[in-house]
Structure 1
Amino acid sequence: MEALRSDNLSPIPLDFIEGKEFTKTIGESLGESLKDVTGVSVLNTGSSISKPVIHGLYGNRILILNNGVRQEGQQWGSEHAPEVDPLIGRRLVVLKGASTIRYGPDAIAGVIMIEPEALPYGKRVQGKWI
């Protein structure tokens, strides 16, 4: 027997920003894009520097994954914001709670995942030498 489970029925506490909500965040930083997610706030340390804060923790206690790659530039000091473009993805996912332990001690507050558009596999490009 097989069954499909939709994301909103998952026991893991996930928050998504996608679709129209995602397009509303055009021109905003990662922190500003996530400020409407429950448990997430923003730490502003300059005119264009904002860091996401999950349940009061920020910096090296939040893991940011951009297409599966750890982004750690925001950990160096108060003048360093996450060096990611949130618009590169198709959706932003915020993972909170005990399920973040599988990502290691860097994710004690939560995990922010930037999921990009899927690559168009199956389409071929051909050429020949002249």
Structure 2
Amino acid sequence: EEAEGVSKLLCDASSQWRNLALEVRSVRSMLEEVLSNWEKYGGTVASLQAWLEDAESMLNQSEGGKRDFFRNLSHWMQQHTDMNDAGNFLIETCDESVSRDLKQQLLLLNGRWRELFVKVKHVGHI
């Protein structure tokens, strides 16, 4: 009877250990995904902000200068998409105050992007 009790206790402990190990792996995976998205978001925000500043000043340049500058617009369109994907993931996974700040930053950057995109499209560069 005592051996049966010890066996049940060991079986329960083993089961709890497996469940805990699974939870730890799941949390670790989620944290790695959050970290990856923070890195992607930070990198794309910084490069996109710098590019937007340059692009906004290029709007006053000659047609040839604008055409030259905006020839790799597809790269920046992808950066913009990556920034939004990472930002939206973080908005969904972070606490409310961080999410609020991220939403505000994305709204501002997306507003600048749309404004520039309309001007560039109007000029006929895309």
Place the TM-score, normalised by the shorter chain, in its bin. under 0.3
More helix by share: 2
Give TM-score scaled by structure 1 length: 0.22
The structure having more radius of gyration, on CA atoms, is 2
Larger relative contact order, structure 1 or 2 (CA cutoff 8 Å, min sep 6): 2
More strand by share: 1
